[in-house]
Structure 1
Amino acid sequence: MAAQLLVLPVLATGLTSCGDPIDDYCQSLKGHQAELTKTLGEGDTGGLIAALPVFEDLERNAPDDIAKDWKTLTTAISGLDTALQDAGVSPDDFENGKPPEGVGAAEAKKIADAATKVSSTKTQEASVRVQQQARDVCHTSLTL
């Protein structure tokens, strides 16, 4: 999958009293880097869901050029988290992609649909753009 390079918008105004939004975002990203590395290392789906609060924080702090991509990621992961919670299961409860006993067909479909959204091309492309922007603009490695 080819990564699309994002062009950092030229800021026409000076720094505001709240600071440069890009610098603030980069500091937030760097501040969460160790936590993300640890959390995402815990496992595929479980790690993504555990990292959701950090992703939501980064989305809130994201500059305009990357905010939509963060929204795509957090929406997809949040949807899967909700589907799992509604069914009363965790990602660890699944064996070979099969839901545990007691999960009804409707719940299983909702989980499968949400998981498909997380792994969709749209979500994966957003992930690539977020990671590329972290490297290019913030000079920080971010692996999702």
Structure 2
Amino acid sequence: MTSLRVAQLLVAPLLAASLTACLTACGGDPIDDYCTSLKDHQQELTDTLGEGGPSGLIAALPIFKDLERNAPDDIEKDWTRLTTVVGDLDAALEKAGVSADDFENGKPPEGVSQAEAKRIADAATAVSSKKTQQASVRVQQQARDVCHTSLTL
């Protein structure tokens, strides 16, 4: 037996043991971690989004960010899209000093400047855009197919 073959036979089990130890110590399977996080947040997310409209989305932003941090590579970009557009809406509302609940029939409350109203409207348009809807659909599909968890955004 050549020395290269002997080295391979000795090194392979060590690498396998190291990989197993790392998967355990380094946080395990990313998909499992994501699915666990998703299931842990499922009821809270359902309750928060049940508030409806932009207020529910904004209230869910911390949950979205946590799920984005745990998201596997194949849907991380979709979670980033969701957290970005909802975060931008939250920032626009905060900068104007109003909440989503302050709007009646899409009209801003008194004291909101035209520039602030435009920023808010642009951010709301991004939230309801086709790209955001597609990201939401992909995230929900991933939850069903991979995590076997119902998620409604």
Q: TM-score, normalised by structure 2?
A: 0.84
Q: C-alpha offsets along residues 47-86 of structure 1, whole Å, 9 cap, x if unaligned?
A: 0000000000000000001100000000000000000000
Which residue is 2:68 aligned to? 59
Which residue is 1:85 aligned to? 94
User: Within 2, Cα distance between the matches of 1:125 and 1:119?
Assistant: 10
3-state SS, counterpart of residue 16 of structure 1: helix
Q: TM-score, normalised by structure 1?
A: 0.89
Aligned: 1:75 with 2:73: no
Equivalence map 1:1-144=2 (5 Å): 16-17=23-24, 18-144=27-153
The gaps in structure 2 that reach 5 residues or longer are 1-18
Aligned length: 132
How large is the RMSD of aligned CA atoms in angstroms? 1.1
- Whose RCO is larger (CA < 8 A, sep 6+)? 1
User: Within 2, Cα distance between the matches of 1:62 and 1:117?
Assistant: 22
Q: Give the drift of 1:43.
A: 1.6
Q: C-alpha offsets along residues 84-121 of structure 1, whole Å, 9 cap, x if unaligned?
A: 00000000000000000000000000000000000011
User: Within 2, Cα distance between the matches of 1:43 and 1:132?
Assistant: 21
Identity %: 76
